[in-house]
A = this chain, B = another copy of it.
Amino acid sequence: MDTIFNHKSIRKYKTDTIDDKILEKILLAGTRASNSGNMQVYSMVVTKDENIRKQLHGAHFGQNMVLEAPVHITFCADINRFNKWCEQGNAQPVYDNFLWLYNATIDAVLASQNVCIEAESHGLGVCYLGTTTYMADKIIEILELPKGVIPVTSIVVGYPDESPELTDRLPLNGVVHFEKYNNYSSDSIKDIYAEKENLPSTKKLIAENETENLAQIFTDKRYKKDDNIHFSKSFLETLKKQGFMNQ
């Protein structure tokens, strides 16, 4: 399917708004994704208001596209709605634990990918915001997410104002295993990453970052030990506050 194979993250957007009918269809596509027991333990928060998007822009490390794109969607794991329904029906819900955080996370991500593919099939561009988990506490505050709701991932959506190249990927045999997991030898790691390491863009990055190689750009510049540990702890803390870790 061409839409899937042509996917590129879009980081520059036109100011054109998205027609409400198209937006509705995109969101409906999200709800057609598989989900745990058809309990639909997720919510999608669609933000168009410029003031709220400005606050989200701050939370998402000030990435320009968050200001530019007319629509911002935050996909949340949500046991709040399901709990309320159970309680009204004299049923005792016990979904405030890690298993259901994980199930609800999967539900939210499946919905998000349907939304992205449907959006792209209408000529729209999207970009995922990995900063969602890093700044979950801030996003909870901005979007007024109650207990039982946690942001999982976010996207911005709008009409593209750039047409980047497809991003490189590891060769298929680097990420697929047949029958069982075949652990990697030192040579197979070299083979799998060879193409990526030899890209002109990689060489340029290494020169700019003054590291020995690409791996060090990840470990020493982009996703550093202290940050990983800090955001890991703060996200776990936020999950506890939102009532997801009661096993």
Which residues of A are at the interface with B, using a C-beta cutoff of 8 A? Answer: 1, 3-5, 7, 9, 24, 27-34, 36-40, 42-49, 52, 76, 80-82, 84-86, 88-95, 97-100, 102-103, 105-106, 109-110, 112-114, 116-118, 121, 127-128, 130, 133-134, 142-146, 149, 152-153, 167-170, 172, 174-181, 183-184, 186, 189-190, 192-193, 212-216, 218-220, 222-225, 228-229, 231-233, 235-236, 247
Can you offer 24 A-B residue contacts whose CB atoms are under 8 A?
A: A4-B33, A7-B34, A9-B34, A27-B176, A44-B176, A45-B177, A45-B179, A48-B179, A52-B179, A81-B174, A84-B184, A88-B186, A90-B215, A91-B218, A91-B219, A91-B220, A94-B229, A99-B231, A99-B235, A106-B153, A109-B109, A113-B114, A142-B180, A144-B180
Asked whether A179 lies within 8 Å of B118 as measured between CB atoms, the reply is: no
Chain B neighbourhood of A142, CB < 8 A: 180
- A84 to B234 alpha-carbon distance, docked (Å): 27
Interface of A is mostly: helix
- A170 to B82 alpha-carbon distance, docked (Å): 11
Chain B neighbourhood of A232, CB < 8 A: 97-100, 247
Chain B neighbourhood of A228, CB < 8 A: 94-95, 97, 99-100, 247
Given A121-B1, A169-B32, A225-B92, decide whether A86 and B219 contact each other with a Cβ distance below 8 A. yes
Instruction: Identify A145's interface contact among B100, B168, B172, B181, CB under 8 A.
Output: B181
Given A43-B175, A100-B228, A228-B99, decide whether A184 and B4 contact each other with a Cβ distance below 8 A. no
Chain B neighbourhood of A43, CB < 8 A: 175-177, 181
CB A52 to nearest CB in B, in angstroms, measures 6
Asked whether B213 lies within 8 Å of A113 as measured between CB atoms, the reply is: no
